[in-house]
Structure 1
Amino acid sequence: MKRVHFLATFVFLAFAASFAFAFDPSPLQDFCVAINDTKDGVFVNGKFCKDPKLATANDFFFSGLNIARDTSNPVGSVVTQANVAQIPGLNTLGISVVRIDYAPYGGLNPPHTHPRATEVITVLEGTLYVGFVTSNPDNRLITKVLKPGDVFVFPFGLIHFQFNVGKTKASAISALSSQNPGVITIANAVFGSTPPIRSDVLAKAFQVDKKIVDYLQKQFWYDNN
């Protein structure tokens, strides 16, 4: 009987541990300002921490998300990031924010995923057609047209996109549940990897002629981040 209780406890702890390591860790102190200098730092979650007594307001500050950026690029959008790389004080806090600007009709934040975060987007101006695709086997597309003030959630790790369907420029602010959510743009990763994925592999995966894959792999895949 004791052995059964032990095994049950072990399984529970294993599940708990796997859940705990699936997200950014909870902080064990007020803050842990990230620094690159390892001389006097303490290593936490991929970053070294500054002595809390030396922290300043600038460690928790970022300016510029009110500024629209140039969207004259192949995808017609640009992402301004404010994560732990720009705000050291975000280290261990499990949150970050981005601004996305979209060119008039056709500005696209291409299908992508955030491997470490859920995203909540709020439209500031313009009209966006947004959506995400559920996981296998359903692969169900869930979409919505958003206007200023509207909020939409892209669940953890799922492929999602935003497309400007309005005649004017658009912009949005997104909060993400990680200090460093990461981004995998699907087309860039599949057809623009270094070195490239073998074209016969992709031809079979997409069930198309190899020449189509060869063509796609020769394209320039723009990164809007």
Structure 2
Amino acid sequence: MSSIQLTLFMAILSVISFVTDAYDPDPLQDFCVAVNDTDAAVFVNGHICKDPKTVTADDFSYSGLNKPGNITSPVGTKINLVFVDELPGLNTLGISMVRIDYAPHGSNPPHVHPRASEILVVLEGTVYAGFISSNPANPNDENKLYAKILHPGDVFVFPKGLIHFQYNLGETNAVAYASLSSQNPGVVTIGKAIFGSDPLVLPDLLTNSFQLDGKAVSRLQSLPWIGNA
């Protein structure tokens, strides 16, 4: 190979390397509408950075996850978040965590985190946890359920963006901690999003999509849906 050919070859490799390394960062909010306003505040990952001269150790510390959550939700769970709003030092670090307290037969209803994978560890109780795969290439094939019954010390992983859930199988309270790969992973509670949106989704669409009759859809849309809490 001549020196000219070698130089050209190296140049092509450099371009390929640049293209493969150039990508947009994962979004940290549902959307970001562009604004042509030079006076608009500048945000970094959804937050303005604090002046480093005023940063203290308290910005990187959070207390309280040792305390049981007050379970008042009708689904029987209480989720204590440690996201960037609760722990400012998480900003730009791409991590967060939660504590989940489950009443007997309480559930963390089916939901997705659009911006994060999750790893769950059970501390107390018996928790049924799982996720559902995305649609297979063959539309006649079924989405696959991956689920296990977890005991204290057991760990389960939920891939980014897939529907997942937990359910306390026991007759006593259960406790789990979860870490997520985003400072602001977001959460979409499936039932609430579909049947409790504002404004409501067109009922005829839901009747057709879920193969339900109109009365069932009307009842579901009349319920006081809540998010994972």
Provide the TM-score with structure 1 as the length reference.
0.83
Q: Which residue of 2 aligns with 1:198?
A: 202
Q: How big is the shift at 1:47?
A: 1.0
Q: Which residue of 2 aligns with 1:54?
A: 54
Structure 1 segment 86-125 matched on structure 2, within 5 A: 86-104=86-104, 106-125=105-124
**Equivalent pairs: percent with the same residue?**
54
Q: How big is the shift at 1:16?
A: 4.1
Provide, for residues 1-53 of structure 1, a one-character-per-residue CA deviation record: whole Å limited to 9, x for no partner.
x8xx97x947x7555444x52367xxxxxxxxxxxxxxxx9632211111222
Structure 1: runs of 5 or more not aligned: 25-40
Provide, for residues 130-151 of structure 1, a one-character-per-residue CA deviation record: whole Å limited to 9, x for no partner.
0000001241000000001111
Q: Which residue of 1 aligns with 2:5?
A: none
Name the CA distance, whole Å, in 1 between partners of 2:57 and 2:27. Answer: 27
Indicate conservation of the 8 Å contact 1:72/1:103, yes or no. no
Name the CA distance, whole Å, in 1 between partners of 2:219 and 2:21. Answer: 46
Q: How big is the shift at 1:70?
A: 2.0
Q: What is the one-letter code of the residue matched to 1:151? A: V
Indicate conservation of the 8 Å contact 2:189/2:228, yes or no. no
Name the CA distance, whole Å, in 1 between partners of 2:124 and 2:176. Answer: 7
Q: How many residue pairs were aligned?
A: 204
Q: Which residue of 2 aligns with 1:27?
A: none
Q: Per the alignment, in what secondary structure is the counterpart of residue 48 of structure 2?
A: strand
Q: Which residue of 1 aligns with 2:67?
A: 67
Indicate conservation of the 8 Å contact 1:42/1:50, yes or no. no
Q: Which residue of 2 aligns with 1:209?
A: 213
Name the CA distance, whole Å, in 1 between partners of 2:188 and 2:207. Answer: 21
Q: What is the one-letter code of the residue matched to 1:52? A: P
Q: Per the alignment, in what secondary structure is the counterpart of residue 144 of structure 1?
A: strand
Verify: 1:165 aligned to 2:164, yes or no. no
Structure 2: runs of 5 or more not aligned: 1-7, 29-40, 137-141
Name the CA distance, whole Å, in 2 between partners of 1:80 and 1:94. Answer: 18
Q: How big is the shift at 1:66?
A: 0.7
Q: How big is the shift at 1:72?
A: 3.5
Q: Classify 1:59/1:202 alpha carbon distance in 2 versus 1 (closer, same or farther; 3 Å).
A: same
Name the CA distance, whole Å, in 1 between partners of 2:111 and 2:21. Answer: 29
**Hey, which bits of structure 1, 4+ residues long, moved more than 6 A?**
none
Q: How big is the shift at 1:57?
A: 1.0
Name the CA distance, whole Å, in 2 between partners of 1:17 and 1:115. Answer: 22
Q: Which has the larger radius of gyration?
A: 2
Q: Per the alignment, in what secondary structure is the counterpart of residue 47 of structure 1?
A: coil
Q: How big is the shift at 1:208?
A: 1.2
Q: Which residue of 1 aligns with 2:191?
A: 187
Structure 1 segment 22-37 matched on structure 2, within 5 A: 22=26
Name the CA distance, whole Å, in 2 between partners of 1:13 and 1:210. Answer: 54
Indicate conservation of the 8 Å contact 1:70/1:78, yes or no. yes
Name the CA distance, whole Å, in 1 between partners of 2:15 and 2:221. Answer: 50
Indicate conservation of the 8 Å contact 1:113/1:159, yes or no. yes
Q: Which residue of 2 aligns with 1:28?
A: none
Provide, for residues 175-210 of structure 1, a one-character-per-residue CA deviation record: whole Å limited to 9, x for no partner.
000000111000000000000000001111101112
